[in-house]
Amino acid sequence: MLTLFFVPDLPNQVGAKYSFNSEDANHAIKVLRIEVGEVFRVSDGAGAWANVQVEEVTKRSLEVRVLEVGKQAPLEIKFTVVQALPKSDRAKEAIELLTEAGADVIVPWLANRSISRTEIISKFVTTVREASKQSRRLFIPEIRETVKEKGVIELIKNADLALVFHESAEIKLSEIISPATKAKNVVIIIGPEGGITDQELASFAQAGAHVAGLGRPILRSAHAGLAALSAVNALLKVF
């Protein structure tokens, strides 16, 4: 699969010349050591892409020619993941895994038992961009502002299907999602390391969220989102 970079001025005409001269270009030249003749992909992060071939390498840029252009359609289902803020050293890991697992929107949640009380949205934006490059995603996930309980409830009310994952769940995910389930807007809620409080859980259920489990092993908050997205994707047969 072609190496992917994101650019703000995506070329859209086959045969056009383009100068790739961003910080990513510097990385491509000095670290990846991309040479004349090599082909890579650039994208606008919103589905459009262009495959380009290197014609000249300078100290600060790759001069390329556009070989092919296209536009990837988004999936029919939009996944929003509400992630309780973990400790700073795990926050980046959580965002990376959610990006790689296919989250379309990531909403940091300041839960009652969240250890981290810091909002680091700017760092999250950089993280989703880098994780999208690594996983060859043409759509960079949207990072929303941090919400509290009221904000989570609003997301639940506006969803076609909302799932809050908790170890106390008595109903299997496969009993909530069936082959007949139709949902275009899915919200997945992942609690903090300390767990979702009974009051939060009751509020989310009252707003319309289903309480579901991920099996016997209890995953770390930073890892649970990936597992939840994978399980829901499989049951909804997204891919």
Q: Which of 51, 71, 91 is the last residue of a domain?
A: 71
Residue 230: pLDDT band by 50, 70, 90 thresholds?
A: very high
Say yes or no: 32 and 95 in one domain: no
Sign of CA dihedral 41, 44, 45, 47: negative
Say yes or no: 65 and 106 in one domain: no
Asked if residue 106 lies in contact with residue 95, where contact means CB atoms within 8 angstroms, the answer is yes
Q: What is the CATH number of the domain that holds 51?
A: 2.40.240.20
CA-based radius of gyration for the chain: 20
Is the confidence at residue 79, as pLDDT, over 80?
yes
Nearest 5°: phi and psi at 7?
A: -135, 150
The pLDDT tens digits of the residues spanning 170-219 come to 788 888 988 778 899 999 999 988 889 999 999 999 999 999 887 667 77
Say yes or no: 120 and 82 in one domain: yes
Say yes or no: 51 and 82 in one domain: no
- Average pLDDT in the chain: 90
The tally of domains found in the chain comes to 2
Q: Which of 71, 88, 105 is the last residue of a domain?
A: 71
Say yes or no: 22 and 101 in one domain: no
Is the confidence at residue 63, as pLDDT, over 80?
yes
Q: Which of 71, 86, 116 is the last residue of a domain?
A: 71
CA 83 – CA 98 distance, rounded (Å): 9
Say yes or no: 117 and 232 in one domain: yes
* pTM, rounded to two decimals: 0.90
Say yes or no: 99 and 61 in one domain: no
Helix and strand numbers, DSSP H then E, in the chain: 7, 11
**pLDDT of 88:** 67
Q: What is the CATH number of the domain that holds 112?
A: 3.40.1280.10
Say yes or no: 115 and 209 in one domain: yes
Say yes or no: 83 and 58 in one domain: no
Choose between 87 and 171: higher pLDDT: 171
Is the confidence at residue 117, as pLDDT, over 60?
no
Q: 109: helix, coil or strand?
A: strand
Say yes or no: 37 and 145 in one domain: no
Query: Percentage of residues in the chain with pLDDT exceeding 90?
Result: 64
Full domain range(s) for residue 206 = 78-236
Is the confidence at residue 64, as pLDDT, over 70?
yes
**pLDDT of 56:** 94
Asked if residue 165 lies in contact with residue 224, where contact means CB atoms within 8 angstroms, the answer is yes
Say yes or no: 158 and 212 in one domain: yes
**Which tokens is 144 given?**
């929303």
Say yes or no: 36 and 150 in one domain: no
Mean pLDDT, residues 129-149: 94
